[in-house]
Structure formats: C-alpha cells, structure tokens
Amino acid sequence: REYFLFLYTRFGRATFLALVSNLAMICGKVGFLTAGLTICNAVLNVYLLGHNRAAAVKEANIVTNAMAEVKSEMTGQFGGILSFV
C-alpha cells in the first residue's frame, strides 16, 4: 500500500487509469474497446469519489500522513542527500 498511495486519491486513480487506457490503445480494435471501458471507469471513479467527500478527505489525510512518514524515513536514511525534498 505504501508504494501506491496515489491510487487512494480520486485524481491519482483517474490519472493511472487514463495511462492504462492509453497503453491499451496500441492493441488494435480490442485495445480501443478496453481503453474506452477504462476511461469510463476513470470518469466513474472521479464522480463517485467526488460525491463521498468524507471518504475522500479521510483518504487524502491518510496519504498525506504516509507521504510525510516516508519523507522522514528517507531523510533519516540518506541524511543530507535528500535535503532538496
């Protein structure tokens, strides 16, 4: 879970699904069908997660806290190398 935190936000998930749909388009006719369904899934994800604001805010807080934790671990592990972050 800690490596794919972007999938827990509505725009992160939608962007990932859009990327997957673009990759699927190179597979010919079946790829275009798959890409169309994946784009519909991305739009549906943004719509549904946008209507449930409480869950979206909760997930955004979880992602923010986890990213701060990862940053502190990386800064502690590598010392001054990541001072620009």
**Count of beta carbons in the 10 Å neighbourhood of residue 83:** 8
- Retrieve residue 69's tokens: 């934790």
CA 35 – CA 21 distance, rounded (Å): 4
pLDDT tens, position by position, 31-40: 888 888 888 8
H helix runs in the chain, sequence order: 10-24, 29-51, 53-78
pLDDT tens, position by position, 18-56: 888 888 888 888 888 888 888 888 888 778 777 777 777
CA 20 – CA 51 distance, rounded (Å): 24
- Retrieve residue 46's tokens: 């943004």
Q: Is the pLDDT of residue 83 over 70?
A: no
Nearest to 44 by CA among 8, 77, 85, 13: 13
For the entire predicted model, the pTM comes to 0.52
Give residue 25's pLDDT.
82
